[in-house]
Amino acid sequence: MTRHSAALSALVVLPLTLGGLTTASGAVDNGTSTIVSVDPEQRSARQSAKLQMHPQIAASGPALQPAGAAKSAMTATFKPRKVKRPVTLQRKSGSRWVNKSKGRQNRKGVAEFTGAYAKGRATYRVVAPRYRGLKPVKSAGVVTSKPGAADFTDDFAAGLDPATWATRGDDYQPTSKRTCSRPSADATRVSGGVAKLRVLVDPDPPGALPRRCSYDGELYKWRLNGHIGTQNTYSFKYGYAAARIKFQARQGQHGSFWMNPATQVTTLGSASSTGAEIDVIEWFGERARRGGLYSFLHHWPDDEATPVKVGGAIPNPARYGKDWAGRYHVFSVEWTPSRYVFRIDGQETFRTSKAVSGQEQYLILSLLSSDYELENLGNENKLPQTMSVDWVRTWER
């Protein structure tokens, strides 16, 4: 595992609009963390362009890949929006700008890109050509090093570091809807630089338990779950968290990358004081209803037993990638004092200003077989199921 202690530089936002600094969402930022650069030609172009540089949160593929080889993600925002206006991402080469990829503005006036990190030396900009009465417009150049170095990286090259990760309990958890399943260190293995979280048959259920677990009138084999976290060892507040994951194939269990509050000022009330459960991604298996991919937030405004849930299924997940059980993808969340933005390989899937945690949060990786999904496995001979994690990173700011 490697760690870095470097402050995350601010988001890069171009240009000024009406008074103050504009953020990626167009809101005024009165703080000092936003860097603004204005291209003089934008004043007469009748549309402004700004480019926000994110960390290295895009790396789709079937094979393992070093965390440092992931691509930087970029969000280009144009105002006023002009749906379907062509946009080109350019990279600087010497004194020239070279076209790298093309896109179009969506209904929000946004175009998303990824580009090679090149150890922070790469400089990118976006250009929109003349279009339906609009003059050409371009953003100023932004270097990939702007988001700063990662503050935490674990690529599992040295195995599962017990000084960082611990199994989250060792008993069955009916209050968490896992009557038939328990976390176990035996369900997490690291080999070849991959953390493998598994669901497998419990070969030795503790205590005087019957041969099988009874749930909702059906009998199931007892299960062990891979379930690890960094509670008491590593947490952070605000920034980006990302994990490169290849999920299990079958239903009957769900793989997750999520965070829980490491600190709380109060146990009930605003998420700024209580923290929140931040489910960056959950995958319920191939052919699961509604596409199988979900992002959630849970917080406790007034009743600790019934937390309020925000979020849900990611609509039409095929827009963001394919083969979730056969390829690695980077699932990430950008967390600020005012919002969350969830992404898959740098592409935004969901954003919300609800349940924003104001507390330190720690990291969790899990493959859990909850009671309500046991019947979906189809055949217990399909166990074990495995979720593979290539690396986990955070950028705190």
Q: What is the pLDDT along the chain (397 residues), one digit of tens a residue?
A: 544 433 333 333 333 232 333 333 333 333 333 334 445 545 545 789 999 999 999 999 999 999 999 999 999 999 999 999 999 999 999 999 999 999 999 999 999 999 999 988 899 999 999 998 889 999 999 999 999 999 999 999 999 999 999 999 999 989 899 999 999 999 999 999 999 999 999 998 887 889 899 999 999 999 999 999 999 999 999 999 999 999 999 999 999 999 999 999 999 999 999 999 999 999 999 999 999 999 999 999 988 778 999 999 999 999 999 999 999 999 999 999 999 999 999 999 999 999 999 999 999 999 999 999 999 999 999 999 999 999 999 999 9
pLDDT score at 96: 97
pLDDT score at 14: 33
Taking the domains of the chain in order of start, what are their residue ranges? 2-143, 152-396
Q: Tens digits of per-residue pLDDT, 80-112?
A: 999 999 999 999 999 999 999 999 999 999 999
Q: Tens digits of per-residue pLDDT, 249-304?
A: 999 999 999 999 999 999 999 999 999 999 999 999 999 999 999 999 999 998 87
Enumerate the H helices of 165-223 as residue ranges.
none
Return the residue matching tokens 């309500």. 372
DSSP 3-state assignment of 301? coil
pLDDT score at 329: 98
DSSP 3-state assignment of 298? strand
Output the pTM of the full model. Answer: 0.88
Q: Which residues contact 41 (CB under 8 A, 6 or more apart)?
A: 136, 137, 138
Assess whether the region 2-143 and the region 152-396 belong to the same CATH fold.
no
pLDDT score at 306: 83
| Contact call for residues 62 and 194 (beta carbons, < 8 A) | no
pLDDT score at 25: 38
CATH code: domain 2-143 is: 2.60.40
Q: Which residues contact 38 (CB under 8 A, 6 or more apart)?
A: 14, 15, 16, 140
| Contact call for residues 286 and 249 (beta carbons, < 8 A) | yes
For 350, counting Cβ atoms within 10 Å of its Cβ (0-12 exposed, 13-18 middle, 19+ buried), the class is buried
CATH code: domain 152-396 is: 2.60.120.200
Return the residue matching tokens 């991919």. 293
Question: How many whole angstroms separate alpha carbon 103 and alpha carbon 378?
Answer: 42
DSSP 3-state assignment of 121? coil
